[in-house]
Chains A and B, each alone.
Chain A
Amino acid sequence: MFLARVQKKVVSSAKHKAYDGKTVYIVQPVEPDGKPKGAEWVAVDYVGANIGDIVVCGGAPGVARDVFHIDLAPIRTLIMAIVDKIEYAERK
């Protein structure tokens, strides 16, 4: 899983039926301090995230099948949580 900022919304005219009714966002992976890191991903929203939110994204083969209960789901990356706060452990 990785931390990311929700950047843009993807609007599509034709899509695989597993994507019907789902919101698809472009997310930019970030470091815990909010600095962008690496290339953008496209992710399906599972928690009701909005543009600008810091979220937890992730996915593994077949994860969308379990979450959305669809037999055939070519979905890999999901937005799994909206981050309220990140707490750091004190360094010893």
Chain B
Amino acid sequence: MKLGIVIGTVWASRKTPELTGCRLSIVQPVSSELKAMELPIVAADPLNLATGGDTVVYVTSTDATQAFPNGFAPVNASIVELVEEIG
């Protein structure tokens, strides 16, 4: 899992049925000092945890699909935790 900050939302009117009702957020990967690293990615937010400016934990690859209620969705990154504090 990695740390990131939500910097935007993607609006898509046509998407695969598995992503219906699921927000797609633009996440900037950050270090624990909240310094930007690498390029931003698009992450699914199946639990609707985060809005713009929130710090989150996201999970990538096969495990990203596990964040969905049925354990299946064509995604590569999912938001799984809304971070309140790092210390």
Contacts and interface: CB of A to CB of B under 8 A. Distances in A.
A89 B71 CA distance: 44
Interface stretch (B6-14, B19-27, B75-83): B75-83
A16 B47 CA distance: 7
Interface size class of B (residues with CB under 8 A): 20 to 34
A40 B4 CA distance: 11
A8 B32 contact: yes
A77 B32 contact: no
Given A8-B32, A71-B71, 8 more contacts: A10-B57, A10-B83, A13-B84, A14-B49, A14-B81, A42-B1, A76-B1, A76-B60
Interface in A49-84: 61-62, 64-65, 71-77
Nearest to B66: A74
A28 B62 CA distance: 23
Q: Is the interface of B mostly helix, strand, loop or mixed?
A: mixed
A8 B16 CA distance: 37
Interface in B29-43: 29, 31-32, 37-38
B66 A42 contact: no
B67 interface: yes
A92 interface: no
A61 B63 contact: yes
A81 to B, nearest CB: 18
Contacts of B86: 8-11, 26
A25 B82 CA distance: 14
A23 interface: no
B64 interface: yes
